[in-house]
């Protein structure tokens, strides 16, 4: 008898993955497919071929069937790289390779649009990429019929329809929180700037869909390629950030998803639209349309890891066990790190105006406090403090912050969740899986679509709440330690401002 369940697809920067879950969302099988960046491009140019994503999906399904073959897919969910630019012509085929979220060619257009529209238009937003294309590749722009994202292209391959989840749409152009569609007033300003040589932007963008809404069904042609029956419902395709929020079961205002890795993202569910423009905060939506405010740090754990690995080499020449040796000491180190402070800016930090590699170091060292634990903890706290500084922009507008859901590399030492709780004075939660991935979030969206087809009136946030992880770990802030970290934070701010301005 076939196993019934849900298929989640995640098209990431490095490759594509799929998961098949049972009806209780337990992962039964996974599969992967690969692709590469387009070679031979200049610095800051990152492109991929959309046809490679489609082939990777076919390959991933073959890989998945090596684990479980007899499956009945009830619905399909999709996650993909946000902010990409897939330009499609009259024949419903891409006009060129897709520019990815990390492509750096449209910094000037980003700043120009932010000034014109009065809302944050980061370099990676699709509209800024499209404005660059209009100005620099007029021959391509003249042939345009549709603009979508990598997730939107996968959705078109599956369904033949041009629609997209609201979170991914918000990564293309700002969403009006009243209408839960593209902001019409801002569209008019964009069109005036873009000129009459191209169609109105609203006619090119995908239709906006919220979680659970109809986003089409699997076509005969794609069903044959995937070895599935035609007609399987497909949930609205989402960007990787909204899918990750779903995978972290975050749907209520005041919940914050915090991912600590090479970079750091803190995505806060808001109860209203953000006012004004902040260098610290980017904006998109969750799959249900709630506003998301994202504080992003380019400098995450890299500096801390560098310090740990340095000590590993000094101790025994083998860096592989350094984390296992040092991190337990870091957990026990004093809040003030014996007076040691660190600046973690190995990479640039746009919100602070820090240039790449210009400011990284340890300060306040002496013969007593120069221990591995103090130096590593100071490096870790520096990143937490930068995140706290960026988050204060949201505090100024009164956004709630009730719970931090932690994922990423920091969870390899779960006790560091207590440090984060004390620094922020906020409850920190680690899910039992810590980081299930965007593909599982896509499968969650697939199940929600299936429930809606069956007539459920369950709200998105309530649905996520029903998936609650009974085995999660919670860390409550300690009042005394929070006061200690607050004092260290002020010392850090004074050092940082002295060093970087």
Higher pLDDT pick, 289 / 1: 289
Take residue 329 and report the two structure tokens written for it. 């000491």
Other Cβ atoms less than 10 A from the Cβ of 486: the count is 14
What pLDDT does 319 receive? 52
Per-residue pLDDT tens digits for 397-453: 999 999 999 887 778 888 999 999 999 999 999 876 544 578 999 999 999 999 999
264 bridge partner residues: 260, 297
Place of tokens 């996520």: 464
Take residue 310 and report the two structure tokens written for it. 């340095």
Place of tokens 């345009």: 144
What pLDDT does 434 receive? 46
List Cα–Cα distances, 45 to 42, 101, 104, 262, 296, in angstroms: 6, 10, 6, 20, 21
Per-residue pLDDT tens digits for 11-22: 999 899 999 999
Q: Are 117 and 131 in contact (CB under 8 A)?
A: no
d(CA 93, CA 95): 6
What are the residue boundaries of the structural domains of the chain, listed by start? 3-241, 249-435+470-501
d(CA 294, CA 13): 20
The pLDDT-based confidence of 320 (bands split at 50, 70, 90) is low
Query: Is it the case that residue 172 has pLDDT exceeding 70?
Result: yes
Report, as an integer, the average pLDDT of 465-473.
Answer: 78
Q: In this structure, what DSSP letter does residue 349 have?
A: B
Q: Mean pLDDT in the chain?
A: 93
Per-residue pLDDT tens digits for 255-313: 999 988 888 999 999 999 999 999 999 999 999 999 999 999 989 988 998 888 888 76
Run of H or E including 454: none
What pLDDT does 263 receive? 86
Q: Are 41 and 408 in contact (CB under 8 A)?
A: no
The pLDDT-based confidence of 467 (bands split at 50, 70, 90) is confident
Per-residue pLDDT tens digits for 51-73: 999 999 999 999 999 998 899 99
Q: Are 243 and 79 in contact (CB under 8 A)?
A: yes
What pLDDT does 469 receive? 64
* Residue 197 burial (C-beta neighbours within 10 Å; 0-12, 13-18, 19+): exposed
d(CA 413, CA 411): 5
Report, as an integer, the average pLDDT of 357-365.
Answer: 84
Please give the span between the terminal C-alpha atoms of the chain, in angstroms, as a whole number: 66
Query: Is it the case that residue 316 has pLDDT exceeding 70?
Result: no
What pLDDT does 117 receive? 97
Per-residue pLDDT tens digits for 85-142: 999 999 999 999 999 998 989 999 999 999 999 999 999 999 999 999 999 999 999 9
**Of 58, 39, 55, nearest in space to 47 by CA:** 39
What pLDDT does 311 receive? 81
Q: Are 242 and 184 in contact (CB under 8 A)?
A: no
d(CA 16, CA 52): 10
Query: Is it the case that residue 199 has pLDDT exceeding 90?
Result: yes
What pLDDT does 142 receive? 96
Place of tokens 């980017």: 282
What pLDDT does 216 receive? 98
| Secondary structure of 328-339 in HEC code, one letter for each residue | HHHHHCCCCHHH
Q: What's the CATH fold of domain 249-435+470-501?
A: Nucleotidyltransferase; domain 5 (3.30.420)
- The half-sphere exposure of 348 on its side-chain side, counting CA atoms within 13 A, is 5
Characterize the bridge pairing of strands 71-80 and 238-239. Answer: parallel
d(CA 383, CA 342): 9
Report, as an integer, the average pLDDT of 484-495.
Answer: 97
Residue range 3-241, CATH number: 3.30.420.40
The pLDDT-based confidence of 357 (bands split at 50, 70, 90) is low
What pLDDT does 435 receive? 45
Cα Rg of the chain, angstroms: 23
129 bridge partner residues: none
Query: Is it the case that residue 356 has pLDDT exceeding 70?
Result: no
**Strand arrangement of the beta sheet that strand 255-260 belongs to:** 281-285, 291-297, 264-269, 255-260, 403-408, 427-430, 473-475
Q: What percent of the chain lies above the pLDDT cut of 70?
A: 96
Beta strand ranges found along 318-376 (DSSP E): 341-345, 359-363
Take residue 100 and report the two structure tokens written for it. 């990815």
Other Cβ atoms less than 10 A from the Cβ of 455: the count is 6
Query: Is it the case that residue 158 has pLDDT exceeding 80?
Result: yes
d(CA 481, CA 487): 10
d(CA 431, CA 359): 34
Q: Is the dihedral of CA 150, 151, 152, 157 positive or negative?
A: positive
**Of 60, 13, 59, nearest in space to 36 by CA:** 13
Q: In this structure, what DSSP letter does residue 231 have?
A: T
Beta strand ranges found along 81-151 (DSSP E): 86-88, 98-99, 146-148
Beta strand ranges found along 127-225 (DSSP E): 146-148, 163-165, 175-176, 181-182, 207-209
């Amino acid at each position: 008898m076939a196993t019934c369940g849900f298929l989640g697809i995640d098209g990431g920067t490095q490759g594509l993955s799929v998961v098949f879950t049972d009806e209780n969302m337990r992962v039964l099988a996974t599969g992967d497919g690969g692709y590469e960046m387009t070679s031979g491009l200049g610095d800051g140019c990152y492109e991929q071929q959309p046809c490679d994503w489609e082939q990777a999906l076919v390959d991933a399904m073959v890989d998945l069937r090596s684990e479980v073959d007899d499956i009945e897919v009830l619905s399909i969910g999709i996650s993909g790289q946000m902010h990409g630019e897939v330009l499609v012509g009259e024949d419903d085929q891409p006009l060129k390779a897709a520019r990815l979220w990390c492509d750096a060619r449209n910094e000037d257009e980003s700043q120009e649009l932010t000034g014109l529209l009065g809302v944050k238009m980061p370099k990676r937003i699709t509209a800024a990429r499209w404005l660059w294309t209009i100005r620099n590749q007029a021959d391509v722009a003249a042939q345009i019929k549709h603009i979508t994202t990598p997730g939107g292209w996968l959705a078109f391959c599956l369904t033949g329809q041009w629609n997209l989840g609201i979170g991914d749409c918000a990564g293309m152009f700002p969403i009006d929180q009243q209408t839960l569609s593209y902001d019409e007033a801002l569209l008019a300003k964009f069109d005036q700037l873009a000129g009459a040589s191209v169609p109105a932007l609203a006619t090119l963008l995908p239709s906006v869909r919220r979680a659970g809404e109809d986003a089409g069904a699997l076509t005969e042609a794609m069903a044959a390629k995937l070895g599935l029956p035609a007609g399987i419902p497909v949930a609205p395709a989402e960007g990787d950030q909204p899918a990750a929020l779903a995978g972290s079961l975050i749907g209520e205002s005041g919940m914050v998803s915090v991912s600590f890795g090479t970079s750091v993202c803190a995505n806060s569910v808001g109860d209203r639209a953000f006012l004004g423009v902040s260098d610290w905060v980017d904006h998109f939506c969750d799959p249900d349309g709630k506003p998301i405010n994202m504080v992003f740090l380019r400098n995450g754990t890299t500096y801390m890891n560098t310090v740990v690995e340095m000590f590993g080499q000094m101790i025994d020449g083998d860096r592989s066990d350094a984390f296992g040796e040092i991190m337990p000491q870091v957990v026990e180190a004093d809040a003030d790190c014996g007076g040691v402070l660190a600046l973690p800016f190995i990479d640039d930090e746009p919100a602070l105006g820090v240039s790449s590699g210009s400011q990284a170091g340890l300060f306040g060292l002496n013969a007593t406090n120069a221990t591995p634990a103090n130096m590593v903890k100071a490096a870790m706290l520096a990143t937490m403090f930068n995140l706290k500084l960026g988050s204060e922009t949201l505090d100024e507008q009164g956004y709630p912050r009730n719970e931090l859901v932690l994922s990423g590399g920091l969870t390899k030492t779960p006790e560091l969740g207590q440090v984060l709780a004390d620094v922020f004075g906020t409850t920190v939660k680690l899910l039992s899986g810590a980081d299930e991935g965007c593909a599982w979030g896509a499968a969650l969206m697939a199940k929600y679509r299936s429930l809606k087809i069956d007539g459920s009136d369950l709200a998105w946030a309530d649905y996520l709440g029903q998936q609650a992880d009974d085995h999660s770990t919670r860390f409550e802030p300690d009042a005394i330690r929070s006061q200690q970290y607050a004092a260290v934070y002020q010392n850090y701010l004074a050092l940082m401002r002295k060093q970087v301005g």
